Every structure is written in structure tokens, then in C-alpha cells.
Structure 1
Amino acid sequence: MSTTIHNHNVLGKLGSLVMPREIQADEAQSGGLRRWFKSWQARRAVAAELYAMTDRDLNDIGLARADIPMIVRTVK
């Protein structure tokens, strides 16, 4: 049985897992906030794409659904 998650709230919760708790003030002033936001958007896009895949498709590329949060954390 395959499960596809179409609930955007799940991605919101996932986003809170991959976002840093706080952003240093000097990074925000030097454009770090923009870089962080672009990186966060990329992680959300990867998560959405992976969660949209069937379990069979994930298995074909050597992943399990439980691996997705770990993969998303590595995206920069």
C-alpha cells in the first residue's frame, strides 16, 4: 500500500524541523537571511517532490519514506 501526502500542513511541520531555531543578527544584516530563505525554499521543494512519490518510486531510487526528513536536512 502506498501513501502519498498531499497535506500542505505536513510540509509546514517539516519546514519547522529543518529551519534553524534562530538566525544570527549579523547574518541577517549581511544577506544571510536571504540565503537561508532560499535554502529553506529548496528544502521544502525537495520534500514536496519526495513526499509526492509513491513508495515504489522511492524504493526504485533507494529511499524509504522514513528517509525523507534526513535527505531534506542535507539539501543546501
Structure 2
Amino acid sequence: MTTTIDNHSSFGKFGELLFAHQRPYAEAKQHKGLLDGFKAWRKRREAEAELERLSDRELADIGVSRADIHAAVRGF
């Protein structure tokens, strides 16, 4: 079965998001919350990756231990 703009139900909500760029902007706006959540998740992952690249000494200088990186990025 091929997937087109009109026939993406086999992918469910992911298919709707995946093919949103092929739809008019008005229809894609309904996924704004999902897209915003994904963008926020990506930013958190980038921040975690950046902190993970620091040495233990650099982390200690900013008051974060390697075990606390996940919580520090999420603000816990």
C-alpha cells in the first residue's frame, strides 16, 4: 500500500505529522502542540549533549555533576 496525502491513516497520528508539510498550513496548525513539544524535547536533548561533552572539572565549575545533567536541564 502506498502512502499519499489522502491515504496516510496506516501511520496514525505520526503519519499526520509526517505528511503535515504536504498539507495546507491551516490543517498543519492543528498539530502545533505536538510540534512545539517535539521542538522543546530536541532543545533539551541538545542541552544535555552539550553538558555531556564537558569534562568533570568544567561541570564542577558550574555546579553540576555528571549524574545531575538530566535533572539540571529539566529544571528539577
Work out whether the TM-score is over 0.5: yes
Deviation, structure 1 residue 55: 0.1
Count of equivalent residues: 47
Larger radius of gyration: 2
Q: Which has the higher contact order (CA 8 A, sep 6+)?
A: 1
- What TM-score do you get using the length of structure 1 for normalisation? 0.56
Structure 1 consecutive aligned stretches of length 4 or more whose deviation exceeds 4 Å = none
Deviation, structure 1 residue 41: 0.6
The answer for unaligned runs of 5 or more in structure 1 is: 1-28
RMSD: 1.7
1:39 aligns with 2:36: no
- What percent identity do the matched residue pairs reach? 50
Equivalent AA in structure 1 for residue 73 of structure 2: V
- Per-residue CA deviation, residues 20-70 of structure 1 (Å, 9 max, x unaligned), is xxxxxxxxx351001101100100100000000000000011111111010
